[in-house]
Amino acid sequence: MSLFIQQLLNGLTIGMVYALIALGYTMVYGVIQLINFAHGDVFMVGAYLALTLIWAFAAVVTGAPFWVVLTALLLFGMAGCAVLGALIERVAYKPLRASPRLAALITSIGVSFFLQNAVMLIYGSKDQSVPEIIPHVRFEFHGVSFSLTQCVIFLTSIALMVFLTWFIQKTKLGKAMRACAENFEAANLMGISADRIIRVTFVMGSALAAVAGGLFGVYYGSINFHDGYLAGLKAFTAAVFGGIGSIPGAMVGGVLLGVLEGLGAAYLSSEWKDVFAFVILIAILLFKPSGILGENLPEKV
């Protein structure tokens, strides 16, 4: 029983990270129906930016409390990735707005390759170890242990999700985003600037991915330029799982995928861990492409 709860907790933790990345996929897909293949790599860039800030902190100040470093690294990653996201949208996707999906998808694969190899050239191809910034505190309860890092991941992710839900539901910009997702042309006719909404979507998605990247690096203690590919694919699975285009769906999908993966690794086989995500992905795409919370969208004629 304690193994089960332990795996559930570990799965929930990584599920939160998947959910944060999945939000970016689902928001972009909701607005422009593009599978932004480069999103996983934005996440990876976020992790590297966080690492860079940890190095910078270590060089300049010593003995800063951990939450200061953590906040700084998350904000730094968010700012960097927000700019990157806007830049990618402007350079790579904007000229292709009127092209078929295939063209934009191929472009996003190109961007993904570019980011991966740019990071590899700058930081090297070896795993980079992330210094431990959160004190090693573990809470033990009936043989189930829960670290402070996991606690931080939970609180940060939940706070961001609450913020995002509020933003989408209540603010004017959020309403405009929903309008664009509902009917792009009609929203344009109502005076909503499509370019602006698309830019905001990319900026917010990338900032969320950056937070996920920072937390991922801190949690695992090591990052590699390849990490974005697998994490991105799993987050995409999570987005599809929950119903692509649906924001609560991405959150639920991410957490569920993390839990399923954690339990699968513990009870079935850890070697095949990565296969679970892909099998789930294919199964959902084949049998229920609308996901758990997504609406059923028929192919438009």
Partner 1 sequence: MRVSDFFKRLFRRHPFSCQVALFLLPFSLFPLIDKNVYHIDLMTSIGIYVLLAMGLNVVVGFAGLLNLGYAAFFAIGAYAYALLNLHAGCPFWLGLPAAGIVSMIFGLVIGAPSIRIRGDYLAITTLGFGEIVRIAFNNLDEWTGGPNGLLGIARPKIWVPRFEGGFHWETFSFSVNPTPYFYLVLGLVMFAAYLLFRMSDSKIGRALVAIREDELAASCMGVPVLKIKLTAFGLSAFIAGMAGAVFASKQTIVTPDSFDFVLSVLILAMVVLGGMGNIWGAALGALILGALPELLREFANYRMLLFGVMMVLMMIFRPQGILGSQLIRREMRTEKSE
Residues making contact with partner 1 (CB under 8 A): 33, 35, 91-92, 95-96, 98-107, 109-118, 121, 229, 233, 236, 240, 271-272, 274-275, 278-279, 281-282, 285-286, 289, 299-301
Q: Is-contact 111 216, C-beta < 8 A?
A: no
Smallest separation (angstroms) from partner 1 to the CB of 260 = 15
How far apart, in whole angstroms, are the C-alpha atoms of residue 145 and residue 164?
30
Smallest separation (angstroms) from partner 1 to the CB of 209 = 18
Nearer to partner 1, 130 or 209 (CB): 209
SS (H, E, C) 144-168: EEEEHHHHHHHHHHHHHHHHHHHHH
Residue matched to tokens 């004017």: 172
Smallest separation (angstroms) from partner 1 to the CB of 288 = 11
Smallest separation (angstroms) from partner 1 to the CB of 210 = 20
> Encoding tokens for residue 164?
């995002």
Nearer to partner 1, 92 or 144 (CB): 92
Nearer to partner 1, 67 or 278 (CB): 278
How far apart, in whole angstroms, are the C-alpha atoms of residue 8 and residue 139?
16
How far apart, in whole angstroms, are the C-alpha atoms of residue 4 and residue 1?
5
Residue type, 6: Q
Nearer to partner 1, 57 or 225 (CB): 225
> Encoding tokens for residue 74?
């998350």
From the list 29, 28, 64, the residue with the least C-alpha distance to 207 is 28
Nearer to partner 1, 8 or 120 (CB): 120
Smallest separation (angstroms) from partner 1 to the CB of 271 = 5
Q: Describe the crossing of helices 2-32 and 247-267 by its angle, rounded to 10 degrees.
A: 150
Nearer to partner 1, 75 or 233 (CB): 233
Instruction: Indicate the pairing of strand 138-141 with strand 128-129.
Output: unpaired
